[in-house]
């Protein structure tokens, strides 16, 4: 993989549904799995086709050697080991036993490949896990997040982190 112009990392690309340009030339798309078109019968065009199959809890060397200006981290929101049903197939699942240590390791790995002054956007939905539970695991404080609520039973939030060099903070 030619990493020269890759300064954006999508650490959980899935089906890239949120992207306007699903093949942005400056983005490196990774996911822990690859799924061929048709893996969801009801959505035959969807596929999971990362540039590199990689686990955010243990990034491969070719990614570790690189620094990114922007990292988007849209982790699964459901605690489930089995990927059955459209939602779980599309969005994956968090391991019910290890999700806390997985997210802790994941944040650490991603923070280590984030450039100085780089931004990490963490997206999370509180289907199974409350926001304060997940934020407890993350060792940095988000600068801000969207405070608007959908008003429904569950909510999705984007948390914005910036890697500000230690000497610039108070
Ligand atoms: C919520 S979905 C991402 C949806 C995506 N942002 C989109 O626009 O379609 C979460 C994705 O994280 C992937 N994932 C789960 N654990 C992972 C891990 N340890 N490392 C990398 N990707 C992982 C899942 O396979 C799933 O595709």
Q: Which pLDDT score, from 0 to 100, does residue 148 have?
A: 81
Q: Which pLDDT score, from 0 to 100, does residue 169 have?
A: 75
Which atom of ligand 1 lies nearest, measured to the CA of 10?
A: 6
CA of 77 to the centre of ligand 1 (A): 9
Whose CA is closest to 100, among 60, 66, 72, 133? 133
The closest residue, in CA terms, to atom 24 on ligand 1 is 92
* Cβ 51 under 6 angstroms from ligand 1: no
Q: What would the pLDDT profile of 45-94 be if each residue is shown by its tens digit?
A: 999 999 999 999 999 999 999 999 999 999 999 988 888 889 999 999 99
Q: What is the mean pLDDT of residues 143-167?
A: 92
Q: What is the mean pLDDT of residues 123-139?
A: 95
pTM for this predicted structure: 0.96
CB environment 108-134: b (16+ within 10 A), e (fewer): ebbbebbeeebbbebbbbbebbeeeeb
* Cβ 100 under 6 angstroms from ligand 1: no
């Amino acid at each position: 993989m030619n990493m020269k112009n890759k300064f954006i990392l999508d650490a959980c690309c899935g089906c890239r549904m949120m992207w306007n340009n699903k093949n942005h030339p400056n983005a490196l798309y990774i996911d822990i799995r690859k799924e061929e078109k048709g893996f969801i019968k009801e959505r035959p065009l969807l596929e999971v086709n990362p540039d590199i199959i990689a686990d955010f809890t243990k990034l491969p060397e070719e990614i570790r050697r690189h620094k990114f200006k922007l990292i988007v981290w849209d982790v699964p929101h459901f605690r489930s080991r089995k990927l059955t049903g459209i939602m779980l197939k599309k969005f994956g699942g968090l391991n019910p036993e290890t999700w806390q240590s997985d997210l802790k390791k994941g944040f650490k790995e991603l923070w280590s490949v984030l450039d100085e002054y780089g931004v990490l956007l963490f997206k999370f939905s509180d289907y199974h896990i409350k926001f304060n539970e997940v934020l407890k695991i993350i060792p940095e404080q988000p600068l801000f997040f969207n405070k608007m609520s959908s008003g429904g039973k569950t909510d999705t939030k984007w948390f914005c982190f910036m890697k500000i060099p230690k000497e610039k903070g108070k």
